[in-house]
Amino acid sequence: MLTTGDVFAGYAIERLLGRGGMGSVYLARHPRLPRQTALKMLNAELFSDNEIRARFEREADLAAQLEHPNIVTVYDRGVDEGRLWISMQFVDGVDAANIDQPIPVERAVHIIEGTAAALDHAHRNGVLHRDVKPANILLAGTTGRERVLLTDFGIARPTDDAHHLTQTGTFTATLAYASPEQLTGAPLDHRSDQYSLACTLYSLLAGAAPFASTNPVSVIQGHLQGPPPSIRARRPELPPAVDAVLARALAKRPADRFDSCAEFAAAVRWALHGTGTGPTGFGPRPAQPRVHVPSAPHQPSPGRARPAGNAVPFVPARARRTSRAWAPSVLLVVLAVVVGAGVWVWRDESTFVADILNRTQAHKDIAAMSAAFPQLLPPGEVAGLEHRNPYIEGIGFGGRNCRAYVNTTTRNELEWESTFQAAGAKWACKSAEIRDSHFSFYTFPTAESAAAAVADFESKSRDVGSGASGTRSDDHRTLYYNNRYVLAAVVSTFSDPGRERWVLLSHRSSTSGNDLAPLLKDFVRFPLR
């Protein structure tokens, strides 16, 4: 962590602005120009993660292409002291998530209009933001009107590549503001950002996201199946037209939304203030002249008197019955579509829904490793588990405490373990005695990614021998950091069909440098054959 007065990449650090899971942002002084800049730095331990590094670099590349008064300007990027950095426009203000909510109507409209202009500019230049939310909207107080700036293009994608997830299939947007197509892994276009912008407007006006819940499954169900909640239930003083505008922008099908974010913002202003041009399909229709329907030359059927002078023409009973007959058919079609989409979302292992419900390939790998090595690992199938937390734990070989993880990027506790963070699942078994041997099983999305992780670890360690047993190959290594001995390790890979994606890492700290004897003595006792 840098402190005031430190110099990094030529920038003089003034103070820390904020920290997150991927890095920190500092207020810094430009080395040559008389201005302040925001210096965003990726955490050093994430530098070896190819996907996170690419995402960080993509943020600079995409944002640098977008010159707009409502988008935070990116000045430069680089690598210094093994850390990626981006210098960008410093905005002296707060983000929209940190202002008191709900906010006044006019301020909400102003924020949405500025953000909509930024998004439409990005869309015209082939960039989708994919994480629109109050925390990514900066508000700068000036002598005039409050400035609105969109920031954080860290998970943005070019339009022609926006349907791809990350390499490991993980979900990266913020769940409370994610569009239905983001949750199901469907192709994205500019209307996905519009959905998130509508969620943002609802949050600013109501003080909570549209489908807010402490249960992520409930949030997902709301986005995929729930009707848009009425903003007037929280702000009854708002006109009814606001609900209609939000309902259109929050439509489940992108085709049912507005054509652009600017059109949505204009509809919001019209609904709230009655100014501007109302969007197609909204607002009071022109008054219709009263039409006199003359009496027919013959008398109508008994009990069906034709109302004279009524503005609504008489509809024969047969026509009414015909129109009603369509209702069950339409309902069946809609129901079939909803059920079909639900089945697809339920069965698809790559969606965020599967991750929440512990049905991804990574969760299955946890159970498969337990079944393959029951003497090493505790049982691997437990229902009702909490998402992204250690969801299985028990006693493994030799009394070691074992925990299972998915999304291992955030579950590698030691710096050297970052080599294996591309794994989709991990069993970690540790002894209470720190100098005893520990072991971890990893499963990767592909055999190629497993081989790449092993090669990366070997490039950072020293070869001190090898061995094999049946279909298992063992590579004996010692690891040093800054010429300081860290640990002895055995990296095992498997040639059994179905286990090419698996890697076993056994390691033991020692003061004896290259002496692997204590580890190998424990290792040969592992029931791995």
- Which residues are marked as active site? 131
Q: Tokens 């050093």 sit at which residue?
A: 44
> How many Å apart are CA 507 and CA 502, to the nearest integer?
16
Question: Cβ(230)–Cβ(243) under 8 Å?
Answer: yes
> How many Å apart are CA 41 and CA 43, to the nearest integer?
6
One-letter amino acid of 375? Q
b/e code 390-400 from CB counts within 10 Å (16+ = b): ebbebebbeeb
Which among 127, 228, 221 has a CA at the least distance from the CA of 183? Answer: 221
> How many Å apart are CA 267 and CA 342, to the nearest integer?
31
Torsion of CA 264, 185, 221, 232, to 10 degrees: -10
HSE (side-chain half, CA atoms, 13 Å) at 283: 17
Q: How far apart are the first and last CA of the chain?
A: 46
One-letter amino acid of 312? V
Which among 23, 148, 42, 41 has a CA at the least distance from the CA of 95? Answer: 148
Which among 50, 80, 77, 52 has a CA at the least distance from the CA of 63? Answer: 77
Helix axes 241-249, 261-273, angle to 10 degrees: 170
Q: What is the DSSP letter of 190?
A: H
Helix axes 190-206, 105-124, angle to 10 degrees: 170
User: Residue 464: is it exposed, middle or buried by C-beta count within 10 angstroms (0-12/13-18/19+)?
Assistant: middle
Q: Which residues contact 27 (CB under 8 A, 6 or more apart)?
A: 13, 14, 15, 16, 17, 36, 37, 38, 39, 90
